[in-house]
Amino acid sequence: MNLTLHSIEQLEDPFGILAGDRYEIFFHLEVDEEDELYHEGGLLLKVLYVVEENASRVAQYHIFEKDTNNFIEVGLDDDEEVLVKEMCEKEIELL
């Protein structure tokens, strides 16, 4: 699995209810043809990433088909989730 940044946006909390900062991050998701996630039109990974005072985490993620924007109901493996978290941290540091 290979991730490349597509876009990143800091989300606003107009009411100040939520602690920390939230980011919506989209990655292009490249997988091998033999992988169960493979889709000929390509995949996007949408991540909601939370940065709080003492910790940061992936709050949720969704995988979409790039060409149809259809949601794919499948989860990432534990090692893939670690990779996604590391990529999110890296991209936010670059902001």
Whole-angstrom distance, CA of residue 84 vs CA of residue 17: 26
Residues 27-51: tens digit of each pLDDT: 999 989 998 888 899 999 999 999 9
Whole-angstrom distance, CA of residue 65 vs CA of residue 56: 27
How many domains, in total, are found in the chain? 1
Segments forming the whole domain that contains residue 74: 2-93
- Whole-model pTM: value is 0.91
Q: Is 74 helix (H, G, I), strand (E, B) or coil?
A: coil
Q: What is the pLDDT along the chain (95 residues), one digit of tens a residue?
A: 899 999 999 999 989 898 899 999 999 999 899 988 888 999 999 999 999 999 999 999 999 999 999 999 988 999 999 999 999 999 999 98
Eight-class DSSP state of 34: T
Between the CA of residue 67 and those of 19, 23, 40, 71, 81, what are the distances in Å?
35, 24, 9, 11, 24
